[in-house]
């Protein structure tokens, strides 16, 4: 396999800035909370880890670790990322 090729990720072509809030909301509605974390990780990679690290003041390596599937990101990390992405959580009964 040609090493200059990277694996195809459908989110690279299908996820626009307008889609991100909808995508994360749908992931949050899933009964498995891990679905939201995986979805947020996809968005972080789509938008660029380095760019979001700079915007949030978080360490780039920490962001990679937070979404590697081995650990759960801290609430502070999730909150900062959502804010940088322009996404607001709403709580309703």
The per-residue pLDDT for range 24-36, each reduced to its tens digit, is 999 999 999 899 9
Q: Give domain status of residue 1, yes or no.
A: no
Q: Are 15 and 46 in contact (CB under 8 A)?
A: yes
Q: Count how many domains the chain has.
A: 1
pTM of the model: 0.81
Residue 60, domain extent: 16-85
Summarize the confidence of residues 66-87 as an average pLDDT.
93
Q: Give domain status of residue 2, yes or no.
A: no
Q: Give domain status of residue 10, yes or no.
A: no
Q: Are 39 and 23 in contact (CB under 8 A)?
A: yes
Q: Give domain status of residue 8, yes or no.
A: no
Q: Give domain status of residue 6, yes or no.
A: no
Q: Give domain status of residue 63, yes or no.
A: yes
**What pLDDT does 69 receive?**
85
Angle at 30 between CA 6 and CA 18, to 5 degrees: 60
Q: Give domain status of residue 78, yes or no.
A: yes
């Amino acid at each position: 396999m040609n090493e200059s090729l990277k694996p195809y990720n459908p989110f690279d072509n299908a996820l626009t800035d307008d889609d991100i809030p909808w995508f994360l909301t749908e992931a949050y509605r899933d009964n498995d909370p891990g679905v939201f974390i995986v979805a947020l990780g996809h968005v972080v990679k789509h938008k660029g880890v380095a760019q979001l690290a700079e915007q949030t003041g978080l360490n780039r390596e920490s962001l990679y670790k937070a979404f590697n599937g081995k650990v759960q990101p801290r609430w502070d990390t999730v909150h900062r990322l959502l804010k940088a992405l322009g996404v607001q959580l709403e709580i309703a009964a």
